[in-house]
Amino acid sequence: MTFPLERPARLAVFASGRGSNLRSLVTAFPSGDPLASVVLVLSNKRTAGALSFAEANGVPARAVPFGSDRDRFEREVTTLLGAFKIDLICLAGFMRVLSPAFTARYAGRILNVHPSLLPAFPGLHAQRQALSAGVDASGCTVHFVDAGVDTGAVIVQRPVPVFPDDTEAALAARILNEEHRAYPDAVRRVLTGRAQARAGTLEVSA
Ligand code: GRF
């Protein structure tokens, strides 16, 4: 599949937590939007705020517990993605690593948001890593997902300052604010063909 499509794209958002990025994506791509709509929210946690938000806003929501069997989880998810005819997957605070087989199957069609300026500070606690490193700027990155952890091609980054007296919570809030702008922007770039996957290689154009 290559973007742009000749119809509105169908987005799935995968979220494990409160779902503030989900909210920004639903706001940017509501039902009936000509470019895209969020048509499925999936969580590995039944109690995730993201699921309640989806239900309250009329977006189909599904919990698929991860358990200890990633293959089973990914088979169930693949079935759901097919049933909902999903074009693009947006990971938004989804706290599980997907298998190389899964990321290859959806290559160029999975995005993630990460709270640092990658390649700096990949993995968990990116804001804490930034404070420990003593940097004076950090930010957020939206990138394509490949088989690595936070290693895929970068689509959009937005910087924020880091202040000497910052707490992890204050820095996280400042970065989150930028995530909410960066994610819809990145989705638009992908869906309009400005950032795309070609012949198995991910390429980003200006
Ligand atoms: C965000 O900081 C995101 O960058 C990280 O997890 C957090 C999710 O927040 N991957 P929310 O659930 O979207 O509010």
Tokens at 49, concatenated = 């705020």
Distance 21 CA to ligand 1 centre (A): 6
Distance 206 CA to ligand 1 centre (A): 25
Distance 72 CA to ligand 1 centre (A): 25
Let me know if 180 is a catalytic residue: no
Give 8-67 pLDDT, tens digit per residue: 999 999 999 999 999 999 999 999 999 999 999 999 999 999 999 999 999 999 999 998
Q: Could you give the CA distance from residue 176 to residue 183 in angstroms, rounded to a whole number?
A: 10
Give 130-139 pLDDT, tens digit per residue: 999 999 999 9
Residues linked to residue 63 through DSSP beta bridges, in sequence order: 43
Task: Report which ligand 1 atom has the smallest distance to the Cα of 112.
Answer: 10
Global pTM exceeds 0.85: yes
Whether 138 contacts 127, CB under 8 Å: yes
Looking at residue 62, its pLDDT comes to 98
Tokens at 60, concatenated = 């189909």
Q: Output the ligand 1 site: residues, CB below 6 A.
A: 15, 17-21, 92-93, 113-115, 176, 179
As a whole number, mean pLDDT of residues 88-110 equals 96
Residue 85: which region, alpha, beta or left (left: phi > 0; alpha: psi -120 to 50)? left
By DSSP bridging, strand 195-198 and strand 110-114 are unpaired
